[in-house]
Structure 1
Amino acid sequence: MHVLFLDESGTPPRPQDQRPSYFVVGGIIIPETSWHRMRDGLMGIKIRRGIRGEIKWRYFAPANNDAKNPMRGLAQDVRDEIRTEIYRLMSSETAVKTLACVSCREAAYAMPSINTQDDLYHGTFKPVTERFEYHLSDLSKVTGRREFGIVVGDHRGPGDDKRLRGYHEKLLHSASGFTTNYKHLIEGLFIHPSNLSVGIQLADMVAGAVWRKYERGDDKYYQLLKPSLRTNAQGDEAGYGIIKFPKATFI
Structure 2
Amino acid sequence: MYVDESGTTHDPNQQYFVLAGFCVFERQGYWLATQLDRIAARFDPADPAAVELHGSPMFGGRGWWRSHPKDDRHQAIEDALKVFLQSHPSNRLFASVIRKSVVSPQDPVEAAFEQLSSRFDKYLMRLHRSGNTHRGIIIFDKSTYETTIQSLATDFRTIGYTWGVIRNFSEVPLFLDSKASRSIQLADLVAYAVFRYFEKGDNRFFPIIEPRFDSEGGVVHGLHILQ
Normalization by structure 2: what TM-score?
0.90
**Are the counterparts in 1 of residues 40 and 52 from structure 2 also a CA contact under 8 Å?**
no
Change (3 A) 1:149 1:175: closer
Aligned residue in 1 for 2:225:
244
**1:77 pairs with 2:56:** no
Aligned residue in 2 for 1:24:
18
| Cα deviation code 1:206-237 (max 9, x no counterpart) | 11111111111112200011132212321x43
Q: Shift of the alpha carbon at 1:180?
A: 3.3
Give the partner amino acid of 2:4: D
Aligned residue in 1 for 2:85:
91
Q: Shift of the alpha carbon at 1:33?
A: 2.2
Q: Shift of the alpha carbon at 1:241?
A: 1.9
Q: Following superposition of structure 1 onto structure 2, how do residues 120-139 of structure 1 map, counting pairs within 5 Å? A: 120-139=108-127
**Sequence identity percentage:** 21
**Are the counterparts in 2 of residues 99 and 206 from structure 1 also a CA contact under 8 Å?**
no
SS in structure 2 opposite 1:206? helix
Where do 5+ consecutive residues of structure 1 fail to align? none
Normalization by structure 1: what TM-score?
0.82
Give the partner amino acid of 1:220: R
Paired with 2:180 and 2:25, the residues of 1 have a C-alpha distance of: 18
Change (3 A) 1:127 1:175: closer
Picking from 133, 139, 148, the partner of 1:152 is 139
Change (3 A) 1:180 1:5: farther
Aligned residue in 1 for 2:210:
226
Aligned residue in 2 for 1:106:
101
Paired with 2:113 and 2:123, the residues of 1 have a C-alpha distance of: 16
| Cα deviation code 1:98-121 (max 9, x no counterpart) | 110000111111xxxx34xxx221
Paired with 1:126 and 1:183, the residues of 2 have a C-alpha distance of: 14
Where do 5+ consecutive residues of structure 2 fail to align? none
